[in-house]
Amino acid sequence: MSSYTGFTLHRILRRLRRDIKLWRSWTINYLNRHVFGSWHKLGRSKWLVASWGFLVAVSLWGLLAQIGALNSIANQDLPQRGGIYREALLGQVKSVNPLFADNAATEDVNSLVFSGLTKINGDREIVADLAEKWDVSADKKSYVFHLRKDLKWQDGIKLTAKDVAFTVGLVQNPDTRSPLAANWNGVKYEVVDDATIKFILPSSYGNFLFNTSLGILPKHKLETVKASSLRSNEFNQKPVGSGPYKLDFLEVDSTVIDLSANQDYYIHEPYIPKIRIDLYQSNQEIISALISKKVDAASAISPLDVATVEKIQNITNHRINLPAYVGAFFNFKSPVLSDLKVRQALAYAADRKSIVENELGGGATIAYYPIPAGFVGFNPKAERYETDQKKAKELIAASGVSKANLRIVTLNNPIYEKVASNLANSWRALGLNVEVIAADSVQLQQNYIRSRNYDVLLYGQNVGLDSDVYSFWHSSQAVDPGLNVSVFKNSEVDQLLEAGRLAKDQSYKASRYSAFVEKWANDAPAVILYSPYYNYAQSDFVKGFDAKKVAEPSNRFYNIYDWYFAKQ
């Protein structure tokens, strides 16, 4: 490399180093002056800036959340009025009157047309209905109910406490012959004013509130009707209630019942303007109606049909807990069954396991006692009469009635008939001549139950909310319209039932009912067989149904005014 070239290169490098040093110095001065200097100046106000930044972030988050919520609401099915709700019921409805409901289908229609002071919700709780609140005295012998304001009958007339008093008076009148009379025995009432009524009980009665779910009748429509002719009065075909739905007219032999929304219903006009009840005489017809979408729902699905229902598209089967049992009730008026040995033999011969597994497809639980498990006074230590055919034959031989005739009467539905056949076969194995008679609900009531015209009645009973089974087993209820269908009379049992009904202390109440179960079992007035589930099938497009457990099947309608059809 020449000396000139080396000199030139050296000069360029020196100039480059000088420029780099100059740029470095300038950059450091700029950062110190405009960046780090500004940040130090910001130090005194940085918390204020941070707070504003946080508020801006929160506001943006809230705005985005609100937009998301509005979009979600827009996509939801909101209650809207419209449609016809169709439900299939098994049986007949000959009249509509809450004082005389004689089958489940009639009770269902009653619950749509009439309202009580209280009602039972979908969690088996007593809640307000016509009464907005009530006061109970310390000794639980006085109840004061305060009615809601602006209550109206479906014909527009004002509903008052006088209507409540009138209804209770009808129930208590022996000429009315209402099976509900025992629930109001000895209860006095006083109309305080149009919106207030007071009930005075002869003694404290824990289950009294349950009785106040009784449907109230209009005084202005029935005050001129004799109590003895109320069952046959035209009001039962043209009822006027205060419930969510109106029934203009009931054809006695009709298979269809049309109801329309009560626009004056005190909560709000129901979202579904029309309800059509289709009455069927067989479970097979009901299942076919569900499959073909002729109906939106069906009540009391047979346990044998549950598997089929669960396969139907857009239909859900709701299995609801029900405090009920089915039993074979022995008529103490029957010469054959007046013998304790015979009753015990029949109890030992009954095969509950076979009935539940073979006749019910496992759709029930085995039961033994008139007070269900989980209720106050349930006593599993009482005699159970578990299946023992050998012991049953020994008792029959000791009684000397091995060739006696026995009539089992029951409802003509497939389940009851299958259970009756199972029982008949077990009892025929003892040498008895057993006949099974199946009747429709009207004939069963009129021709058999009211006159106690049977040896054995295969039937279901519902305990309700409480262990109080006075109506079913007290001797005062042994004749029509009482519900003691075994015509069972035992003075000690009567005393225990009375004490249990009036008990204030829970432990004392439990001891009375527990003793009742023991004495009941010793007398064997019936064979309690099983506790059924209540199966309710309903379309997935119907929204609002939320019952999980009920006291009675009709309680499923407790909030029907909020039901609606979803968008399809």
CATH code, 395: 3.10.105.10
Q: Is the pLDDT score of 26 beyond 70?
A: no
pLDDT reading at 49 higher than 60? no
For strands 433-439 and 564-565, give the pairing. unpaired
- Output the domain CATH number for residue 219: 3.40.190.10
What's the pLDDT score for residue 73?
Answer: 46
In the chain, % of residues over pLDDT 90? 75
CA neighbor of 225 nearest in space, from 213, 237, 234: 234
**pLDDT higher than 50, residue 145:** yes
Is residue 411 located within the same domain as residue 364?
yes
> Is a pLDDT exceeding 90 seen at residue 17?
no
Tell me, yes or no, whether 349 and 419 share the same domain: yes
Tokens of 477: 């209820």
| Residue 372: pLDDT band with limits 50, 70, 90 | very high
Report pLDDT for 28.
Answer: 65
Question: Which pLDDT does position 401 carry in this prediction?
Answer: 87
pLDDT at 56 over 90: no
In angstroms, the CA 28 to CA 35 distance is 10
Predicted confidence (pLDDT) at residue 74 exceeds the cutoff of 50 = no
Per-residue pLDDT reduced to its tens digit, 382-408? 999 999 999 999 999 999 887 899 999
* 57 and 129 both lie in a single domain: no
Residue 462 has pLDDT above 70, yes or no: yes
Q: For residue range 118-137, list pLDDT tens digits in order.
A: 999 999 999 999 999 999 99
Measure the CA angle with vertex 411, ends 301 and 487; round to 5°. 125
Residues 445 and 385 in one domain: yes
- Residue ranges of the alpha helices (H) in 140-216? 161-172, 208-211
The pLDDT, as a whole number, for residue 504 is: 80
Co-location of 15 and 157 in the same domain: no
Residue 544 has a pLDDT of 97
In this structure, are 177 and 34 located in the same domain? no
- Going by pLDDT thresholds of 50, 70 and 90, the confidence category of residue 77 is low
**Residue 272 pLDDT class (50, 70, 90 cuts):** very high
Asked if 11 and 28 sit in the same domain, the reply is yes
Task: Determine the average pLDDT of the residues in 66-77.
Answer: 53
Number of domains in the chain: 3
Q: What is the pLDDT of residues 297-353, one digit of tens each?
A: 999 898 989 999 999 999 999 999 889 999 999 999 999 999 999 999 999 999 999
425 and 410 together in one domain: yes
Q: Provide the 3-class DSSP secondary structure of residue 275.
A: strand
pTM as predicted:
0.77
Residues 362 and 251 in one domain: no
Position 115 pLDDT exceeds 70? yes
Residue 54 exposed, middle or buried by CB count within 10 Å (0-12, 13-18, 19+): exposed
Residues 361 and 426 grouped into a single domain: yes
Q: Is there a contact between 456 and 408 (Cβ–Cβ < 8 Å)?
A: yes
Which whole number is the average pLDDT over 177-199?
A: 95
Q: Are residues 470 and 540 in the same domain?
A: no
Taking residues 422-451, report their average pLDDT: 95
Q: How far apart, in whole angstroms, are the C-alpha atoms of residue 283 and residue 481?
A: 29
Q: Model confidence at 515, in pLDDT bands (50, 70, 90)?
A: very high
- 97 or 506: which leads in pLDDT: 97
Q: 424 is in which domain, residue-wise?
A: 324-532
Given 53, 75, 97, the domain boundary residue is 75
- From 24, 58, 75, the end of a domain falls on 75
Q: How far apart are CA 429 and CA 349, in angstroms?
A: 9
Q: How many CB atoms lie within 10 A of CB 411?
A: 22
541-553 mean pLDDT? 94
Checking if the pLDDT of 552 tops 70, the result is yes
Domain boundary among 55, 75, 95: 75
Percentage of the chain exceeding pLDDT 70: 87
Residue 24 has pLDDT above 90, yes or no: no
Rounded Cα distance, 565 and 271, in Å: 9
Mean pLDDT, the chain, as a whole number?
90
Lowest mean pLDDT among 18-32, 165-179, 439-453: 18-32
Residues 428 and 541 in one domain: no
User: Of 409, 405, 404, 402, which Cα lies nearest the Cα of 436?
Assistant: 409
